[in-house]
Amino acid sequence: MRVQNKRVMTALIVLLISLSLITTGCTNRREMTDISIVTASGYDRVMVDGKPMTITTMYCIKPSSTEGGVSGGAANKGVTFSAMGQNIVDSAVNFNLRMPRGYFISDIQVMLLGEEFAKEGISDYIDLFTRQREIRPRTLVAVCQGKAYDVLQAQPELESLLSGEIANKIQGGAIRASKAINTDLFQVMRDSLTPGKEVVVPYIKVVPRLEQSLLAEGDNQTGSSGGKSGETGVQPKRVVTVSGSAVFLGDRMVGLLDDEETQGMLLIDNKARYGTITTKLEDRNSNISLLLTKIPDTEVKPMIHDDVIKFEIKIKGRGELASEENAVVGINKEDFKKAEELINKVVVNRCQRAVDKSQELKSDVFGFGAMLAVARPKYWEEIKDRWGEIFPSIKVNITADFKIENTGLMNNPIQIR
């Protein structure tokens, strides 16, 4: 009996080993030398012979970068390829006619939508990429001024890849400055499917590098021609910058919020993190800046009275007096109170500007409708089909309570005698 059991066990082991040899293996493997790693993509619409066409642009890592052939500084280790088709899928397939390798899209950090592309509607784009297994839901989405293929030709300033530079600027603007919104593909999909909430994404521009522009301007004013830029005629390096937010109504882009309006929106949405609030003193030609040291806290309360919809918004925050001109704020309570009042006025003004702009565009980027649906579900069911008409006329009352905790390492301002 034992001999028979031993033979059965031996036969099973041999069978398992044989099956493992037959069924295992990377039949769909792709070698690194056969693919291009895509870290950013862009999408544009153009007219060709009277027909609408889609241009897809892919920003890829240069092969020498993955092989360790490039080192030092912020040398651009990326290269762009563009292909045209009747839609995104068609243009993506046509990349096989443009690129010497296949492409790998799981490492895409940011997707850029050209302004015209965004204005014509992005529902097909959302549907396509939320179905793609290879696209990560946390991939950042942004609208860019002009064409996406043009923006992806810009040069990185600090990072080795433009894709990483754009992603870091968006995330840094959202966390360290609270003047950029950090929107990913999942957020776009969720906002598109949520009644009473519209899509808003960061807005990207390409501008001349500030330092080079100022240098060129100084040379022009002084009439100097001895600088390298003047001698060679080299144009200032074109770099990307985050400049506010792109606002959607349904699946179409309808307008923009500037950086201060974006900060106001983030404060209302309870998404503001750190940054500064700067204001001009009324009776003096000087400014003071409050550096936020504690994440602001916002309470939004929907109210309905006689079919009049009103939202009460209370924002609290704390910070440090980081900068002041002409040494005007001392340690006494009266100076603190005056400075706090001015800062609170600025906060209310920025938030109100964001509300006014969104109502002008008829786009509820704050999700007031979604909040109303949670607070008063029965009432929301009655008005949800008319929310687009109701939203521009709702009342919004904003109050701010920002406190100055300290003045840094010094109590009183330095007064030069």
pLDDT digits (tens, 9 = 90+) for 146-199: 999 999 999 898 899 999 999 999 999 999 999 999 999 999 999 999 999 999
- The rounded distance, in Å, linking the Cα atoms of 110 and 390 is 35
292 and 152 inside one domain: no
Q: Is the pLDDT of residue 13 over 80?
A: no
Bridge partners of 102? 35
* Phi, psi at 407, each rounded to 5°: -115, 30
- In total, how many domains does the chain have? 2
- 77-128 tens-digit pLDDT: 889 999 999 999 899 889 888 888 888 888 999 999 999 999 999 998 988 8
Q: Give domain status of residue 74, yes or no.
A: yes
3-class secondary-structure state, position 298: strand
166 and 56 inside one domain: yes
174 and 303 inside one domain: no
143 and 70 inside one domain: yes
Give the pLDDT of residue 348. 97
User: ∠ CA 191-195-197 to the nearest 5 degrees?
Assistant: 45
What is the residue range of 400's domain? 266-417
> 129: which 2 tokens?
């990429």
CATH number at residue 303: 3.30.300.210
User: ∠ CA 231-232-235 to the nearest 5 degrees?
Assistant: 115
- The rounded distance, in Å, linking the Cα atoms of 396 and 7 is 82
- 20-29 tens-digit pLDDT: 665 555 555 5
303 and 373 inside one domain: yes
Bridge partners of 401? 316
CA 207 distance to own-chain centroid: 17
Say how many CA atoms lie within 13 Å of 129 toward its Cβ.
Answer: 27
H-run or E-run covering 303? strand 287-305
Bridge partners of 199? none
pTM: 0.83
Last residue of a domain, one of 239, 257, 275: 257
99 and 172 inside one domain: yes
Closest listed residue to residue 335, CA positions, set 300, 288, 376: 288
Say how many CA atoms lie within 13 Å of 261 toward its Cβ.
Answer: 21
192 and 240 inside one domain: yes
